[in-house]
Structure 1
Amino acid sequence: MAQRVVLGLDAGGTSTRCAAVSADGAALGYGRAPGANTFSGDDPAAALEQALRGALAGLDSADVAHAVFGLAGASTGGGARAAGIAQAAWDRIGLPGGPVVTDDIAVAFASGTSGGTGAVLIAGTGAVAARVTGGAVQSRCDGHGWLLGDEGSAVWLALEGLRAGLAALDGRGGPTSLHTRIAARLEVPAGDSAALVRAAHTCRPAELGELAPAVTAAAGEGDAAAERIVADAAQRLLCSLAAAAPDAADGPVVLAGSILEGGPVADAVRAGLRERGAGAPLRAVDGAFGAAGLALRASGAPRGAHAALLRRAAAADGRSGPRPVP
């Protein structure tokens, strides 16, 4: 028997993920593709198309009732371009109509709670904090990209680690293992600062973000320079959250992104939230399911389908589910 299908897609600089979901919040299909940078000269629609095809494999596209795409940068002057990219991917598959396009912030919040009001702090490749009201972003802080902001993000951690490592090599900074750890990941000699600089300059921002675990691992093993970077990252993230959502007790706080999934930065952020008097933060599931949750709500799915989807996604990922919000 034919069933209604909704699609949720979450596209960032590192990866693109798409989930196909039934009207009662059960996952039906899933697709993954490389990142889709809407401001690059590449073809981001191709990544969206690949993820869409993966999610729809074995399903009848005629059953698709609604879709929500969350694209990084859609709310910062890139809305028209993001909508065009989404529609191009949609048309290549031959689906009727088109998806609703929003930003990755609203999707991240919906990946942690089925409620409409609260705050979200994201730290992955980039970093941004926002206050969400009625399911829409009311105010935000940072998210300005790696060159001008994204403080506390994976790219920020990597750049600070590189700077500390180079400072140790040329005598400006104290001893640290960061240059050795990062050089190993970049596959260059540890003591060759010129080689380290050349390798770093060849990396795209998302590739730089992949160096962040070298910094957090060093901090976990007591490297003083890395510990300072991690502490600074947490404070910058908390500062962004405080600016975007001053009242931490007004609704849940959702934490999203690889940096806040676990590790020393996440631990420090959680401790800072406790000091602010906020309740236990909610951990976001895969953003594709958050986007699918928004699609469920927009499609008139039964009340509770979004919360059920988040619980199932959390259970499948081996973690306790987010609190359902009536």
Structure 2
Amino acid sequence: MTSPQPARAWLLLEGGGSHTWAATATGYTILTTTEGPSTNPRSVGEERAVHTLVDLIDQVWDDPATAPLGVVAAHGAASTRAAAGDFAALVRRALALVGPMAAPVLVTNDLTPLLLSAGGPVCVANCGTGTGFAARNGARWARSSGLEWLLSDEGGGHDLGTAGLRAAVRALDGRGPDTALTGLAQAWCAESDHAGGDLSEHLFFHVYREEGAKSLVATFAQHVLEAAEDGDAVAGRLVENAAAELAAGATSVCRATGITTGTDYTLLLSGSLLTEATFLRGHFMTWAHENLPPTALRQHTPKSRPEDLLRLRDLWLTPEALPPLTSAMPTHADPAPSTAEGTSA
């Protein structure tokens, strides 16, 4: 008598500039979950991204002899369609190293499932390591920012952290006013194993010592927010500038999709600097209430990840529903498993 075959499962991935979440699911049941560092190759490099993907898949996938039904990934690495395809290739490399396994892969921008989570018009403002804005109003979709730290991401954690560290350095060498950010920068790099030298040398070593400086610098954004809340004038101006950039991003996608004053729409906040940093959120929401009051306000939380990604999977399994998404958002989609196979798990 043969043993029953184990139920095949889906592999789910969600990530951005600072973290990656991985899970397995059968049907609408989440089986296992884990979290790890960024797998965005423009933050950590391709090899580290693949290594982390392998580690995460190992943690959630029990039987490497059985391939996933498919991989559904909503990831900040999907800045463009070509970038979405490149990340799909990294996922395939990771699967081959774990199993070796092979499975169809869907990769789309991490804002896509958020746009699908509201029934009516919606604007998404994301502010974490980077920034991204997207809106959907009927058949009209729009997206702005999200082209990584050299081309966009103004107002995000890396941008705000960089501005704060530069302000500290300017104060140190006399090019700028005194600021509490100098002392905070000293504490921030205190764990560095660099011995000797002044603060400028410590900062230089801490920031440039290894690959992945983007994620590291973004952590200083919290210190900028702390100083601003405590009344530091320099930090306060930096936070005001960041909030203005967030307002500009939200304005652009609302304008492009016809969301105007009086439109019943949902404003969905995402990313740690909007969902956890109340000081920055307060500045941004002041703009929203004065210029484009939302009918409903929601915050994207980790609890919604499984539902968001399973909704995206179901869209993948509905061929006629996928083209509007792939034409609007950076997406790579392999042919999906058959609907019967996909829903039976």
Normalising by the smaller structure, the TM-score range is 0.7 to 0.9
Q: Does 1:11 align with 2:15?
A: yes
Q: Does 1:89 align with 2:94?
A: yes
Are the counterparts in 2 of residues 131 and 140 from structure 1 also a CA contact under 8 Å?
Answer: yes
Q: Does 1:103 align with 2:106?
A: no
State the distance in 2 between where 1:119 and 1:196 align: 38
State the distance in 2 between where 1:9 and 1:117 align: 26
Using a 3 Å threshold, how does the CA distance of structure 1 residues 251 and 67 change in structure 2: closer, same or farther? farther
State the distance in 2 between where 1:241 and 1:227 align: 21
Secondary structure of 1:147 counterpart = helix
State the distance in 2 between where 1:150 and 1:190 align: 33
Q: Which residue identity does 1:199 align to in structure 2?
A: H
Q: Which residue identity does 2:11 align to in structure 1?
A: L
Superposed CA deviations along residues 77-136 of structure 1, whole A, max 9, x for unmatched, are 3133122112222333344532211122214545xx2548522111111111122467x9
Q: Which residue identity does 1:266 align to in structure 2?
A: R
Question: What is the aligned partner in structure 1 of residue 327 from structure 2?
Answer: none
2:47 to 42, 50, 73: 42
Identity of aligned residues (%): 25
Q: Which residue identity does 1:294 align to in structure 2?
A: L
Using a 3 Å threshold, how does the CA distance of structure 1 residues 72 and 270 change in structure 2: closer, same or farther? same
Question: What is the aligned partner in structure 1 of residue 294 from structure 2?
Answer: 278
Q: Does 1:27 align with 2:30?
A: yes
Are the counterparts in 1 of residues 11 and 25 from structure 2 also a CA contact under 8 Å?
Answer: yes
**Cα deviation, residue 159, structure 1:** 1.0
Secondary structure of 2:151 counterpart = coil
**Cα deviation, residue 191, structure 1:** 6.7
Superposed CA deviations along residues 19-46 of structure 1, whole A, max 9, x for unmatched, are 223423x432102232112342424223
For normalisation by structure 2, the TM-score amounts to 0.75
State the distance in 1 between where 2:9 and 2:127 align: 30
Secondary structure of 1:180 counterpart = helix
Greater radius of gyration (CA): 2
State the distance in 1 between where 2:9 and 2:120 align: 22
Using a 3 Å threshold, how does the CA distance of structure 1 residues 295 and 94 change in structure 2: closer, same or farther? farther
**Cα deviation, residue 245, structure 1:** 2.0
Are the counterparts in 2 of residues 219 and 230 from structure 1 also a CA contact under 8 Å?
Answer: yes
Are the counterparts in 1 of residues 274 and 280 from structure 2 also a CA contact under 8 Å?
Answer: yes
Secondary structure of 2:238 counterpart = helix
Secondary structure of 1:21 counterpart = strand
Q: Does 1:201 align with 2:204?
A: no
Are the counterparts in 2 of residues 73 and 79 from structure 1 also a CA contact under 8 Å?
Answer: yes
- In structure 2, the gaps of 5 or more residues are 319-345
Aligned residues: 295
Q: Which residue identity does 1:86 align to in structure 2?
A: V
**Cα deviation, residue 281, structure 1:** 2.4
Using a 3 Å threshold, how does the CA distance of structure 1 residues 277 and 166 change in structure 2: closer, same or farther? same
State the distance in 2 between where 1:271 and 1:3 align: 50
Question: What is the aligned partner in structure 1 of residue 311 from structure 2?
Answer: 293
Are the counterparts in 1 of residues 70 and 103 from structure 2 also a CA contact under 8 Å?
Answer: no
State the distance in 2 between where 1:138 and 1:190 align: 52
State the distance in 1 between where 2:59 and 2:83 align: 26
State the distance in 2 between where 1:118 and 1:192 align: 45
Using a 3 Å threshold, how does the CA distance of structure 1 residues 96 and 147 change in structure 2: closer, same or farther? closer
Using a 3 Å threshold, how does the CA distance of structure 1 residues 7 and 23 change in structure 2: closer, same or farther? same
Q: Does 1:184 align with 2:187?
A: yes
Using a 3 Å threshold, how does the CA distance of structure 1 residues 10 and 199 change in structure 2: closer, same or farther? same
- In structure 1, the gaps of 5 or more residues are 301-326
Are the counterparts in 1 of residues 50 and 94 from structure 2 also a CA contact under 8 Å?
Answer: yes
Are the counterparts in 2 of residues 7 and 292 from structure 1 also a CA contact under 8 Å?
Answer: no
Are the counterparts in 2 of residues 16 and 33 from structure 1 also a CA contact under 8 Å?
Answer: yes
Question: What is the aligned partner in structure 2 of residue 68 from structure 1?
Answer: 72
